[in-house]
Every structure is written in structure tokens, then in C-alpha cells.
């Protein structure tokens, strides 16, 4: 009683099943056996079922002739192309709508998020209403709304709604001027590349100079002028090698210009408006997470307002904002798979939909589709972890 | 001594009352005033036609398409198919069973019910069993109603409830597994969680509908709804696990060590000390996941189940009622919005009530 230590069993004493190490080992062995048993059972069942249904496994079907057309193809594709080509077309369409959506959602999201913090009561309320309205309505419903209720009820091509006589909206989507480049246009791309490289060099030089002398270069201004100015100069020097193909109404449809599918427009609108509501909340909480003392300290050092925002508040807010915003970008990419509900030819619609129905290769196709999204997710979260490690607070 | 009257001074500037509030919040400077005017003008231009369409010019009563005469919305489109929107194709004579389940559900959702422990156990065990028996039938002389006749709001709520009740415990187990020191337990949890979080729900539903039948022993019939429910539960349990894990990480190690020093076993430490604190911390995250799950129940439309959105979507193609897409979607949006918004408000209320800090 007086020597409590004698009542505590030492390691290696007492019954075996009370030893933590033994218990951990036993738990893991049981888990391993259970996992192997379940997976083995599933594989066995699948093989039996596949044999019963006479389905061949393997990826040989990818070389087969697809035999169906796709309404939007970024690369060469006909119905004579292979299923492998279908996969590529679908993947590119998914990436296209994701990138468009990410750009628009970021713009709207930042605007609404900053508006929520506005000292103007009305504007702040309006932004709050936007967030509460759009994030509480299912995305699928929003996609269907834009597609069936708005875009499908637009007039026929002959009665198109026109904007600036260049953009035309009708039931078949949007028609807009398309750039047609001549070979000499390469010079403009080269000029842009040179300008970007020069700006990066300038930034590095500017930082060194500031570290050495304390004087800052107006890097922002010079860089902007370079990136905008050089391509323009190149454009005029090479004799304006760019024509615009302006759409014209001929017969029952438009000739020339670029045609944008209504499915793409609906998906793009819904994805950006929905995701922007989440991004707005992230931006707001990010900016609010910077303590007020930071701004006050900057002011007492007599930093001007713009510089305070750019050098003090934003870098600290971004530390909170970026990881969350990245996961929203991932969500947007995954949500773009809802395209299948309105028939936009994304990866899920043309590959996990049409191709699966035609070939019946369920396991291979679902696995490939999931693998694509998994790889995108894993790559982005890997990049995110690297970024996080770089911007994390260095605590001593 | 002065004999003159003191000159009148200007009135103190108005900082209180309506004028003061307007001045501080809407017209505090030239830019602010311009913003106010522009936003007001925009609101009037946009909001008025919407109100006009939805309420003033709208048609409310009637039973046929002929009732839609005004320029505004025709809510008759909704009212004539309200039964279908709520019950789907559930046989009319048996709808009282759905009503009882709805009533019990509403009763349990009331905050601060007395007899907390009994109510809690009933909500977690009794209610699902009763709901299952009542909705499916087949026992106690109740006529069986196959799940392909389920639909509408009732199906949406069923999927959401099963998803919520199923994903939370699996999520907690996964979160504990991910924090485990046993490499195999941890590895299995990590792989499971990252797999489901990396793929879109729609591919999970596709997988559930085309691959689950392949996984099952030959000859077994898998109910379509059950397949979707399994997919939804597995998918959301991974998200739930990450939310719970963030709560577990926020609990100081000392809490668990103190429990161990008192001789509590692992499950006692988790159940009595760590989890109650961790779950309380992440209530907002859990409810956000619930809201996301509720919204995503609409995806079952794509694999051919007749949830709320699907019933409305199919109503739009009714040849007698063409051209009421906006009414249909606005009504569906309103229903979803009310549920999601009240869930988020309810979570804020719970959060305030459980707040035990200073």
C-alpha cells in the first residue's frame, strides 16, 4: 500500500495480452487479414461475375473505333477515332471548363469577399446575400437552371441577342469574333516571352538592389509596361499579322467567328458563381485573420495605404487564403464532372458515360476516370504542401 | 458680468438615430455615397422585376394550365404536383406512413428537448428503425413499398439522413485510425481517406451503380437506392474524417496523457475525454459537411433516382406544362436553400450553447 510502484506492472511482466506492443501487433495482424480477405473476396466475386457475363478485361478496347461524334473537340477527332482519343478529348474538355471556371470564380470571389468587408453597409449586405444565396443551393440545380431555364429559352439564331454587334447569344450558344493568326504572329509570342523573362530578371535585380542600397525600383510599373508594350510593338512591326473573323448571320445560322456551346456556357456560369461564394468567404476570413495591430504598426512607420495592403496585410492574409482556395479549385475541377447532367462532353460524360455504355468495360473505365481526378488532386496537394512549408511561420 | 445673450451654437452633429446611422454607414465620404447610390439603383432595377414576377404578377390558384394568365410566375405548376414533389411515387393510401416519419423527424429537431439521454438514444437507434419499418413496410402487416416508388423530398431527406448518420461514426473511426501509431492502421486510413477525397462524387455514384453488382456474389440483387447510399456514405465519411482529425489535433496531448495516468483504456480516453472536446470544437466543420452532403444528394438524379430535383426536372418535360422551367427551379432552389440555411443557423446556435470558454 505504501509503495505504489510495486503495484504497477513493469514492461514484459503480467499477462501477454496487456502488453501494448503485443496488442498493437495483434490489432494490425487482424486488420491485415480482414483487408486481404475482403479484397480477395471482392476480386473473386468480380472475376466470377465477369466470366458469367462474358466480359473481357484489359485495356485493349482503347484501340477500338469509337463511332460517335463529340460536339466540342479541342484536338482532331472524328467518329472514326479510337476510344483512347475519346478519353483525351474528354480530359481536355474537363480541363478547359475547369481553367475557365477557376479564373472567373477567383475574380468574382475576390470582389465579393472584399465587398463584404466594405465600410458601406449596403454593399457589405449585398455581398453577404450573394454568399448565403449561392452557396446554399445545390450546384447541380444551378447548372440545370442556367442551361434549361436561361440558355435553352434564348431565341433562335435569326433573333439572336447581340452585344456590341460582336457577341451573339442564341439557343445554340454564343458566337463571338475569333482571332485568326498569320505565321508572323509568332513574333508577338516571342516578344511576350522575352518581356516575361526580362521582368523576372528585373524583379530579382530590384530585390538585390533594395537589399544593398535600400532604394526600391518601380518594378511593377516597368514590368507591366514591358509585358504589355513589347508584344504591341512586335505586333505593329510585323505588320499586324492578326485578323478577326467576325460572325455574320447567313441563312439560319452564323458563319465565321467562334461558336461556344450553350452547355459550356451554363457549366462555366454555374461553376464560377457557385465556387465564387466559397472563395469570397475564404478571402474575407483571410483578411480578417490579420491582426489590426499589423496595420497600425505599418501606419506608425508611415507606410502609405497601398503599400500597407501589398506588403503587410496581403502576404499574411494569403498564408490563410491560398491553401483553402486551392482546395476550392480542386472542388471546382471535380464538380465540373456534373457536366454529364446537361451533356457537356467532359471526361465523365464521354468516357464514363458513352464509352462505358458502348463497351461495357466498367472496371477499366471507372478506374481510369477516377485515376485522372486522383492524380490531379494528389499533384495539387503536393504542390500545396510545398507552398505551405515555404510560407509557414518560422517560429523559434 | 455679461449682459449679452450667448450666440447660438450649431447643433451637435448627428451621430445617433437614423440620420447618424446613414451618415456612418452609407454616406461617410464621397466614394461611399456614390457606391451607395449605384448599389441602390442596381437593386431597384434588378430586384423589382423579380418581386413583380414572383409575387405581384404571379398566378397562385387553379388546377390546370389555363390558370396561368398573368405575365408573372405561374405557381400553379408547383401546386398541382406538390404531392409528387413531397412523396414521389409513394402509393397514395400509404402516405400517412411518410407523414409520421416526417412528424417524428421534426419533433427530434426541436432544440432543448427534455430527457436528453433518452431522446438521444431514440434519435440514433429508435428513429432510424421506426422510419425504416414504416417507409419500407413488409412487416407488422404493413404493405411493402419498394424503394423504386420512393421519390421527391422524402427520398432527398432519406438519403441525407442515412448519409449523415452513417458517415459521422465511420468518419470518427477513420480519423482515429489516421492518428494511430500503428503503421498499418494509419496507412489503411490514409489511403481510404485520400482516395475518396480525390474523386468526384458522380464517379463514385457511377461506380456504385455499375461496379457494386460486380463485387457482390453472383445472383444477389442490389437495390439501386442501397447502392447509392453505400457510395454516399463511404464518400462523405472521408470528408468527415478530415474534419474530425482537425479537431483531434487541436486537443493538447496532456488531456490524453492525464487520462492514461488515471488508468483509462484507449477507448475510454477517446470516448470520455478526447472526442467530446474535439467534436465540440469542429461542430461548424461537421455541419458544413452535412450541408454539402444535403446539397449533393441531388446528384442521384444522374443515376436515375427520383429525388426532389429529379421530380421537378421530369415535371418540366410534361407536355401539358411546357415552359415553366424557371418556376420549377426557383421552387426547388427555395426548398434546398431553406434546409441548408437553417442547418447553418442551427449550428451557430449549438456552437454558442456549447461554448464553455470565457
State which residues form the domain around B47.
Answer: 21-56
| B228 and B197 within one domain | yes
**Chain B stretch 291-350, residues whose beta carbon is closer than 8 A to a beta carbon of chain A:** 291, 295-296, 298-299, 301-302, 309, 313, 316, 323, 325-326, 329, 332-333, 336-337, 340-341, 344
User: Could you say which of A27, A119, A140 has the minimum Cβ distance to residue B298?
Assistant: A140
User: Is residue B71 included in any domain, yes or no?
Assistant: no
**Where would I find the beta strands (DSSP E) of chain B?**
none
Query: What cell does B122 get?
Result: 431514440
| B165 and B44 within one domain | no
User: Is residue B197 included in any domain, yes or no?
Assistant: yes
Distance CA B358, CA B355 (A): 8
Residue-wise pLDDT for A358-368, tens only, equals 887 888 888 89
User: Could you say which of A122, A366, A370 has the minimum Cβ distance to residue B40?
Assistant: A122
Distance of CA B302 to the CA centre of its chain: 19
Closest by CA position to B24, among listed A63, A127, A122, A301: A122
- The more confident residue out of B132 and A256 is B132
| B160 and B38 within one domain | no
Contacts of A42 in chain B (CB under 8 A): 215
Query: Which DSSP state fits B273?
Result: I
User: Is residue B238 included in any domain, yes or no?
Assistant: yes
- The answer to whether residue B50 neighbours chain A at the CB level (below 8 Å) is no
User: Is residue B138 included in any domain, yes or no?
Assistant: no
Query: Which DSSP state fits B67?
Result: G
Could you tell me which residues are beta bridge partners of residue A176?
A258
User: Is residue B72 included in any domain, yes or no?
Assistant: no
Contact A340 B202 (CB under 8 A): yes
Which H or E element spans position B96?
Answer: helix B95-108
| B230 and B81 within one domain | yes
Query: What cell does B197 get?
Result: 477525397
B268 in Cβ contact with B255 (< 8 Å): no
Contacts of B73 in chain A (CB under 8 A): none
| B329 and B181 within one domain | yes
B72 in Cβ contact with B57 (< 8 Å): yes
Query: Using CB atoms within 10 A of its CB, is residue B16 exposed (0-12), middle (13-18) or buried (19+)?
Result: exposed
- The answer to whether residue B282 neighbours chain A at the CB level (below 8 Å) is no
Overall number of domains in chain B: 2
| B262 and B157 within one domain | yes
Residue-wise pLDDT for A319-350, tens only, equals 888 888 888 999 999 999 998 888 889 898 88
| B173 and B210 within one domain | yes
User: What CATH code is carried by the domain that includes residue B304?
Assistant: 1.10.3720.10
B297 in Cβ contact with B160 (< 8 Å): yes
User: Could you say which of B181, B206, B313 has the minimum Cβ distance to residue A144?
Assistant: B313
pLDDT tier for residue B13 given thresholds of 50, 70 and 90:
low
**Dihedral (C-alpha) B298, B300, B306, B312: value to the nearest 10 degrees?**
30
pLDDT of residue B20: 76
CA distance A118 to chain B (A): 9
Query: Using CB atoms within 10 A of its CB, is residue B358 exposed (0-12), middle (13-18) or buried (19+)?
Result: exposed
Closest by CA position to A206, among listed A223, A225, A183, A184: A223
User: Is residue B65 included in any domain, yes or no?
Assistant: no
Residue-wise pLDDT for A5-16, tens only, equals 444 445 556 777
pLDDT tier for residue B32 given thresholds of 50, 70 and 90:
confident
User: Is residue B312 included in any domain, yes or no?
Assistant: yes
Residue-wise pLDDT for B167-210, tens only, equals 999 999 999 999 888 888 899 999 999 899 889 999 898 888 88
Distance CA B150, CA B307 (A): 8
B234 in Cβ contact with B201 (< 8 Å): no
| B170 and B49 within one domain | no
| B27 and B83 within one domain | no
Q: Quickly list DSSP for B100-160.
A: HHHHHHHHHTSSS-SSHHHHHHIIIIIHHHHHHHHHH--STTPPP--GGG--HHHHHHHHH
Residue-wise pLDDT for B42-67, tens only, equals 888 888 888 888 877 777 777 777 77
| B158 and B51 within one domain | no
Which H or E element spans position B255?
Answer: helix B253-261
A351 in Cβ contact with A86 (< 8 Å): yes
**Chain B stretch 147-176, residues whose beta carbon is closer than 8 A to a beta carbon of chain A:** none
Mutate to test the interface with A, among B29, B176, B212, B214 (most CBs of A within 10 A): B214
User: Is residue B29 included in any domain, yes or no?
Assistant: yes
Query: What cell does B93 get?
Result: 393510401
CA distance B197 to chain A (A): 8
Q: Which of A243-247, B103-107, B328-332 has the lowest mean pLDDT?
A: A243-247
- The answer to whether residue B185 neighbours chain A at the CB level (below 8 Å) is yes
Q: How large is the ipTM?
A: 0.85
| B81 and B44 within one domain | no
| B289 and B182 within one domain | yes
CA distance A182 to chain B (A): 41
Amino acid at each position: 500500500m505504501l509503495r505504489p510502484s510495486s503495484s504497477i506492472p513493469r514492461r514484459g511482466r503480467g499477462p501477454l495480452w496487456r502488453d501494448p506492443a503485443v496488442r498493437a501487433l495483434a490489432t494490425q495482424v487482424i486488420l491485415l487479414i480482414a483487408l486481404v480477405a475482403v479484397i480477395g473476396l471482392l476480386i473473386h466475386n468480380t472475376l466470377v461475375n465477369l466470366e458469367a457475363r462474358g466480359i473481357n478485361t484489359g485495356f485493349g478496347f482503347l484501340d477500338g473505333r469509337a463511332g460517335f461524334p463529340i460536339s466540342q473537340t479541342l484536338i482532331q477527332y472524328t467518329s472514326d477515332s479510337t476510344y483512347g482519343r475519346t478519353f483525351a478529348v474528354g480530359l481536355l474538355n474537363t480541363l478547359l471548363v475547369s481553367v475557365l471556371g477557376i479564373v472567373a470564380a477567383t475574380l468574382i470571389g475576390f470582389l465579393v469577399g472584399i465587398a463584404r468587408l466594405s465600410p458601406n453597409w449596403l454593399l457589405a449586405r449585398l455581398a453577404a446575400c450573394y454568399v448565403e444565396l449561392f452557396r446554399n443551393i445545390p450546384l447541380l440545380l444551378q447548372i440545370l437552371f442556367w442551361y434549361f431555364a436561361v440558355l435553352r429559352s434564348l431565341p433562335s439564331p435569326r433573333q439572336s441577342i447581340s452585344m456590341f454587334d460582336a457577341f451573339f447569344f442564341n439557343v445554340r450558344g454564343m458566337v463571338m469574333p475569333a482571332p485568326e493568326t498569320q505565321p508572323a504572329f509568332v513574333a508577338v509570342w516571342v516578344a511576350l516571352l522575352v518581356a516575361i523573362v526580362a521582368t523576372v530578371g528585373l524583379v530579382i535585380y530590384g530585390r538585390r538592389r533594395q537589399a544593398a542600397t535600400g532604394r526600391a525600383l518601380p518594378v511593377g510599373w516597368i514590368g507591366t509596361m514591358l509585358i504589355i508594350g513589347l508584344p504591341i510593338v512586335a505586333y505593329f512591326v510585323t505588320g499586324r499579322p492578326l485578323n478577326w473573323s467576325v460572325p455574320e448571320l447567313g441563312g439560319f445560322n452564323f458563319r465565321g467567328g467562334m461558336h461556344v456551346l450553350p452547355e459550356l456556357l451554363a457549366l462555366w456560369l454555374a461553376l464560377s458563381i457557385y465556387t465564387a461564394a466559397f472563395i469570397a468567404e475564404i478571402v474575407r476570413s483571410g483578411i480578417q485573420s490579420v491582426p489590426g495591430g499589423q496595420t497600425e504598426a505599418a501606419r506608425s512607420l508611415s507606410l502609405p495605404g497601398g503599400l500597407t495592403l501589398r506588403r503587410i496585410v496581403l502576404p499574411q492574409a494569403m498564408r490563410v487564403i491560398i491553401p483553402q482556395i486551392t482546395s476550392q479549385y480542386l472542388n471546382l475541377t471535380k464538380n465540373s464532372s456534373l457536366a454529364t447532367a446537361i451533356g457537356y462532353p467532359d471526361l465523365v460524360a464521354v468516357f464514363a458515360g458513352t464509352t462505358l455504355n458502348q463497351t461495357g468495360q466498367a472496371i477499366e473505365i471507372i478506374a481510369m476516370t477516377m485515376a485522372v481526378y486522383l492524380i490531379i488532386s494528389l499533384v495539387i496537394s503536393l504542390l500545396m504542401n510545398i507552398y505551405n512549408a515555404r510560407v509557414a511561420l518560422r517560429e523559434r | 458680468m455679461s449682459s449679452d445673450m450667448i450666440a447660438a451654437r450649431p447643433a451637435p452633429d448627428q451621430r445617433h438615430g437614423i440620420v447618424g446611422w446613414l451618415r456612418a454607414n452609407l454616406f461617410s465620404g464621397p466614394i461611399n455615397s456614390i457606391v451607395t447610390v449605384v448599389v441602390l439603383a442596381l437593386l431597384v432595377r434588378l430586384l423589382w422585376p423579380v418581386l413583380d414576377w414572383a409575387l405581384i404578377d404571379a398566378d397562385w390558384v387553379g388546377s390546370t394550365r389555363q390558370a396561368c394568365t398573368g405575365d408573372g410566375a405561374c405557381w400553379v405548376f408547383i401546386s398541382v404536383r406538390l404531392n409528387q414533389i413531397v412523396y414521389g411515387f409513394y402509393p397514395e393510401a400509404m402516405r400517412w406512413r411518410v407523414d409520421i416519419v416526417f412528424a417524428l423527424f421534426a419533433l427530434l429537431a426541436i432544440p432543448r428537448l427534455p430527457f436528453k439521454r433518452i431522446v438521444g438514444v431514440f434519435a440514433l437507434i429508435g428513429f432510424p428503425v421506426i422510419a425504416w419499418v414504416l417507409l419500407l413496410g413488409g412487416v407488422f402487416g404493413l404493405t411493402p413499398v419498394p424503394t423504386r416508388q420512393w421519390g421527391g423530398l422524402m427520398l432527398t431527406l432519406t438519403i441525407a439522413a442515412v448519409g449523415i448518420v452513417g458517415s459521422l461514426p465511420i468518419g470518427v473511426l477513420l480519423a482515429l485510425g489516421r492518428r494511430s501509431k500503428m503503421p498499418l492502421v494509419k496507412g489503411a486510413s490514409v489511403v481510404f481517406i485520400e482516395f475518396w477525397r480525390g474523386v468526384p462524387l458522380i464517379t463514385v455514384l457511377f461506380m456504385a451503380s455499375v461496379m457494386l453488382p460486380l463485387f457482390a456474389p453472383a445472383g444477389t440483387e442490389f437495390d439501386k437506392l442501397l447502392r447509392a447510399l453505400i457510395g454516399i456514405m463511404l464518400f462523405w465519411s472521408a470528408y468527415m474524417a478530415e474534419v474530425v482529425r482537425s479537431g483531434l489535433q487541436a486537443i493538447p496531448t496532456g488531456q490524453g496523457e492525464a487520462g492514461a495516468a488515471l488508468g483509462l483504456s484507449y477507448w475510454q480516453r477517446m470516448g470520455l475525454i478526447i472526442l467530446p472536446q474535439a467534436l465540440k470544437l469542429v461542430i461548424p466543420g461537421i455541419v458544413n459537411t452535412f450541408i454539402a452532403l444535403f446539397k449533393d444528394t441531388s446528384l442521384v438524379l444522374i443515376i436515375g433516382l427520383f429525388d426532389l430535383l429529379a421530380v421537378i426536372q421530369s415535371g418540366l418535360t410534361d407536355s401539358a406544362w411546357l415552359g415553366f422551367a424557371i418556376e420549377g427551379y426557383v421552387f426547388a432552389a427555395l426548398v434546398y436553400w431553406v434546409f441548408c440555411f437553417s442547418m447553418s443557423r442551427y449550428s451557430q446556435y449549438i456552437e454558442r450553447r456549447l461554448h464553455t470558454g470565457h
